[in-house]
Structure 1
């Protein structure tokens, strides 16, 4: 399942568009958030923890979720 992050979808040093430039670079900015991981609905090449995808946080029709965490000393 895709996992939401709180990160804006922006380039980072050494970023290379994949699979093609228009898939990612036109969506850079604070409106789109980063998704990590993948789902059963994507090609195997994109189904890995290092793959950064993007989407609008208001969308509900993608296979995504989020992870919660807290400090051990709480």
Structure 2
């Protein structure tokens, strides 16, 4: 993550919490430009981490469903 109070999240929930805090700070609009850019960069990294974690979970569930004889998630009709 970025340099200020950034750490690699332990899990999805922690990353999501950090991302929510960053969004709130940015929405307030009172951060100096450099801090806002740093916070935005950290938010992008957290968002990517969350997306990767969700994608991995989805793949795991899909694999488990196909191994157990269930219909794969991408084969489900709407």
TM-score tier, shorter chain, comes to under 0.3
TM-score, with normalisation over the residues of structure 2? Answer: 0.26
- Greater relative CO (CA pairs within 8 A, separation 6+): 1
Structure that is richer in strand per residue: 1
